[in-house]
Amino acid sequence: MMPKELLKKYMPHPDTIKSHKNLQFLGAKLHDPNLWHLNRRSVSMAFAVGLFCAWIPTPGQMAIAAIAAFYMRANLPISVALVWLTNPITMPPLFYFAYLVGVYALNLPTADFSMDAILSGELLFPFLTGCLMLGIICSTAGYFGFSYFWRYHTINKWQHRQQHRQQQLARTKNPFRSIEWRL
């Protein structure tokens, strides 16, 4: 199944979202085709936006991803959906990993990790540094990775079509091949 078909299967219809009463304040910006179309550029940009926003340790990640999708002209539903990679179940291990990345990058000694220590400010700087680094790394990898995947899939599809056409052409070049000659 082509990536476009797979994504369309799970995305809400644009008219449903455009007519939602809580989104009417966005006006004409909500009708930008790139916010809804599934093409290589808009989906790759959506991966970059969504994966970056997933590493922002604040409430309202979905709103930040939606605003960024508007300005970056990325696919809106995919941008917002990718934020859910950091959900209440995955947040503790991912944020601990972000803290470890920050400690390693800043060459600091590790301390006992807890949300209380982060909120009190003791571990805030290495934690935010790790979140920023992982956000940049994941968004870059998501953009280029999905762009490459889309391109690879499209090239394979074209090659398959070309082989199929050549096989059909080979069959039609010799019309007598299927006739048995009896003497």
**114-123 pLDDT, tens per residue?**
888 888 888 9
> What share of the chain has pLDDT > 70, as a percent?
80
Rounded-to-integer distance, Cα 49 and Cα 138, Å:
10
Sign of the CA dihedral with 150 first, then 136, 30, and 22 last: positive
Q: What is the pTM of this model?
A: 0.78
Angle, helices 124-173/40-54, rounded to nearest 10 degrees? 160
Least confident interval from 28-32, 93-97, 159-163: 28-32
pLDDT in tens, 40-69: 999 999 999 999 999 999 998 998 998 899
Q: Is residue 77 within 8 Å of 88, Cβ to Cβ?
A: no
Contact 10, 70 (CB under 8 A): no
Average pLDDT over residues 72-89: 93
77-111: string of b/e by CB count within 10 Å (b at 16+)? bbbbbbbebbeeeeeeebbeebbebbbeeeeeeee
pLDDT at 21 over 70: no
**Interval 146-167: pLDDT, tens:** 999 999 999 999 999 999 888 8
Work out the pLDDT band at 136, boundaries 50, 70, 90.
Answer: very high
The span from the CA of 131 to the CA of 144, in Å, is 20
Mean pLDDT value across residues 88-104: 95
Tell me the three state secondary structure of residue 82.
Answer: helix
**pLDDT confidence of residue 18:** 65
Q: Which pLDDT score, from 0 to 100, does residue 127 have?
A: 96
